[in-house]
Amino acid sequence: ENYNSISVNIYPNPAKNLIQVQSSSVITKIMIYSVTGQSVKSIYSNTNLSNSFINVSDLNSGIYFMTLIDEKENNITKKIIIE
C-alpha cells in the first residue's frame, strides 16, 4: 500500500464545470484519466496547484480518476464524477 502524506479535498463531486482542489501539500501535477486509463487532462505547474480550480466542462459525463502529485512525488488518486 502507498502510505503517502498527501491529504486532499476535491469538490464539488459530482461536478459540472469546475472542481476545486484543496490540499496542505504543494501540488505540482494534476492528471485526469478516463475509466479506461486514457489521459484526458494534464496540468503541470512550477507553483502550487493547491486551492486551484480545474475546468472540467470539456469532459463528457462519466467517472474519471484524478491523480495529484506533490513536490516530493507523492501521489494520491481520487474518483471524480462529471455530470
- Give residue-wise pLDDT tens across range 7-22: 999 999 999 999 999 9
Residue 25 has pLDDT above 90, yes or no: yes
**For 45-70, how does the pLDDT look when each residue is reduced to its tens digit (9 = 90+)?**
988 999 999 999 999 999 999 999 99
Q: Is 32 exposed, middle or buried (0-12, 13-18, 19+ CB in 10 A)?
A: buried
Q: What are the backbone dihedrals phi and psi of residue 51, each rounded to the nearest 5 degrees, phi first?
A: 65, 25
Q: Which residues contact 55 (CB under 8 A, 6 or more apart)?
A: 17, 18
Angle at alpha carbon of residue 68, lines to 38 and 32, rounded to 5°: 25
Residue 2 has pLDDT above 70, yes or no: no
pTM, two decimal places: 0.90
